[in-house]
Structure 1
């Protein structure tokens, strides 16, 4: 019998744990351990709920930073982020109260919080507009919004030069739909023209704001958080307006990323006030910096319409993986799961793990996934009614309750972090660690 090649290997190198193999070989790291914040590692995050739309035709401002107790407990909240082992935080400054007028800002609260975030070595993804605007700007029908918001973005980037990650405007599509088509927030209009107007003003504001950020941080990373939507129409004969809605869910990102929509959507845009000159302006090219497509997914993002018109929440029929994969194939941008939660605290740990399975599946097919976010750190208020009515109902969807005590999902997230906290964005992602070089290439090759 011929001698086995293993004989020589054992004589020269031993019986395993070979010297040098610890550098990513069979005895290299598995990716276990709490996050370290290393560039190129997967970004595990949470967020502070910070919505501030107006309701009752502008008479009532919903400020969730206040309603969830963050103005009082901001230092404790930031400490909880660190105690969880998290290195990344989606954080929204209260734009509506900070921007007092053209060139006029109130930095008092922001300066305190941002200094503490920096001291704790937390990486903020800074959210600059979250469902509302200052009273003096009116609402999303104001064509002056892009100019004033861009000025604000530039002022923030100049004041906090150490911040690299931004979400200029959170969920543009949802903001426009609830404000201008469903009649719930802000301008409370219900027309296609108002919807298109809100969309184009916000996308233009995001682009111009992004440019001002890039002036100060040419290496900025823009995490554009958008809702991953889909409606299943369970009828043999489809309803045209529902099928159109399944196309319009892409509209904000189409304009933001200079992706030509199909003919039906283009016709809809032109009929409802988007001029050819405005359309051509959007299609010149995508904004500067490094663009990340963030997709938010809640069970209620996916709906089923039955033959009799009844609407049911479809929770996980397609799920984050399948819906986001459609978005990825359309835009070919690196992905981040930027929001998820569930209102039942007993079911939240299972929901967390289900979302993580979706991310693992996305990684398995080779899509670069930058990070994951449980939203939010603290319970929320009245999101069961979409903030439409100020009832004070606590939504038990946070990692911690209103008294800052942990909910079961906090322990589950900690367990997830301990198991996966040091994985890279893609296998051998160290080779492609996030460079501090300014972004340069702006075309697909």
Structure 2
């Protein structure tokens, strides 16, 4: 009786660990172990909450870096990032405090914090505008914003030339909506024309800022963080207003990425002050750099509108996967989960694992997911009321509380990092080398 192939293999090579297998295959790595920081490494991150809008019609500044004690404890906070085993950090410098006027900057805190980030070997995703502007710029109705902010962005890129990842403006749509359509922050207006004005100024500022960054870092990677939202209307006859709102959530990215909006959205823009010349300027092409579509997702991003008009949070009906897949199909950009948390500390570990299941499903579907962010490192203050009043309520959503003691989600994140910390952005991602060459694609195919 002739020998079978396994018997012949064993005669030649003995049992297992065949010559050559040590270079990958059955004996290859499984992706476990803490992140290495290699260019192809999936980016596990956290963020330090840095919002600074004004309320009370400009009389009160909400600076979360101050309210959470980060200015005094920044070295301790950055040390916690390293101790967790993280190599990436969404980090926002206080734009309103740094940019003192045209061409005038106060770099004291920025220099100290950035030097510590560099010393610790952390890769910052540098957030340049987070819900507010300097007092001298007023608010988002100011048409001079794109020019002045672009100069600031260029100054930041020049001062910290080792930084490659940037979020020029955090959550453009949310910034415009809460400032100019819902009357919560900054200009505190409540009309469509003010909303369109704020949004076009913000998108233009982001584009101009990216162009200035690219003059110093042609290989810049732009992680555009936007809120992944959806309204579920439980009415047999859907209302035009909510149909429009579910389209307006794409508006900032449509203008940023030069994608033509739907006709009713375009009519909305024209009816509320966008000129044809401005529209053509946005549609000329997307900004320079390697563009990453970051989607922030909280369960409170999804709302159910009941037949009687009441609204309630839906908490994960569609979830990050389904909503972000819709965004991905629209823009075809690499994806990053750029923010998530829950306010209930005991529920946070379960929420973390749910978000990771969403990411794994997205990867299995072949979508390139760059990274994941638990936001934030330390607890926040008054975000349950969107910073609308200065109450001082602590939101227990951080990996650490305000005394810098770990919450249960910190242990869950450590476990996740040990299990998945060395996976690559896409399978066999180690094949590709990240170079310092600028992006050259005109059309993505």
Q: Same fold (TM over 0.5)?
A: yes
Tell me the TM-score normalised to structure 1 length. 0.99
Task: Report the equivalent of 1:201.
Answer: 201
Q: What is the distance in 2 between the residues matched to 1:428 and 1:24?
A: 11
Separation in 1 of the partners of 2:290 and 2:196? 27
Number of aligned residues: 445
* Aligned 1:400-419 pairs, distance under 5 A: 400-419=400-419
- 1:100 is the counterpart of 2:126: no
Task: Describe the superposition over 1:72-104 as per-residue Cα deviations: whole angstroms up to 9, x where unpaired.
Answer: 110000000000000000000000010000000
Does the Cα contact within 8 Å between 1:182 and 1:188 map onto a contact in 2? Answer: yes
Partner of 1:288: 288
Question: Aligned to 1:346, what secondary structure does the other structure show?
Answer: helix
Distance across 2 between alignment mates of 1:82 and 1:37? 12
Aligned residue for 1:415, secondary structure, equals helix
Tell me, in whole angstroms, the C-alpha distance in 2 between the residues paired with 1:134 and 1:152. Answer: 11
Q: Which residue of 2 aligns with 1:327?
A: 327
Is the partner of 1:39 in helix, strand or coil? coil
* Unpaired runs of at least 5, structure 2: none
* Distance in 2 (alpha carbons) for counterparts of 1:116 and 1:181: 39
Partner residue of 1:61? 61
- Structure 1 unaligned blocks of 5 or more: none
1:393 and 2:379 equivalent?
A: no
Native 8 Å contact 1:399 1:410 kept in 2: yes
Partner residue of 2:273?
273
| Alpha-carbon contact 1:22-1:29 (below 8 Å) kept | no
Q: How many angstroms does 1:442 deviate by?
A: 2.3
Give 1:2 shift: 2.9
TM-score (norm 2): 0.99
- Cα deviations across residues 4-36 of structure 1 (Å, max 9, x unaligned)? 111221122222122322333111000000000
User: What is the 5 A alignment of 1:5-24?
Assistant: 5-24=5-24
Q: For residue 3 of structure 1, report the CA deviation from its aligned partner.
A: 1.3
Q: How does 1:246-395 map to 2 (within 5 A)?
A: 246-395=246-395
Q: d(CA) in 2 for partners of 1:23 and 1:140?
A: 55
Report SS of the residue matched to 1:183: coil
Output the CA distance in 2 between the equivalents of 1:21 and 1:314.
49
Q: Secondary structure at the match of 1:426?
A: coil
Structure 1 stretch displaced more, 322-331 or 301-310: 301-310
- Are 1:36 and 2:36 matched, yes or no? yes
- Structure 1 runs of 4+ with >3 Å offset: none
Preserved contact between residue 334 and residue 369 of structure 1 (Cα < 8 Å) = yes
Structure 1 partner of 2:240: 240
Deviations 1:354-390 (A, max 9, x none): 0000000000000000000000000000000000010
Q: Equivalent residue for 2:126?
A: 126
Instruction: Give the distance between the partners of 2:123 and 2:397, measured in 1 at CA.
Output: 23
Distance between the aligned counterparts of 1:323 and 1:357, measured in 2?
14
Q: Helix, strand or coil: the match of 1:89?
A: strand
1:394 shift after superposition = 0.1
Distance (Å, rounded) in 2 between the aligned partners of 1:14 and 1:170:
58
Query: CA-to-partner distance for each residue in 1:43-99, whole Å, 9 max, x for gaps?
Result: 000000000000000000000000011001100000000000000000000000100
Alignment match, 2:165? 165
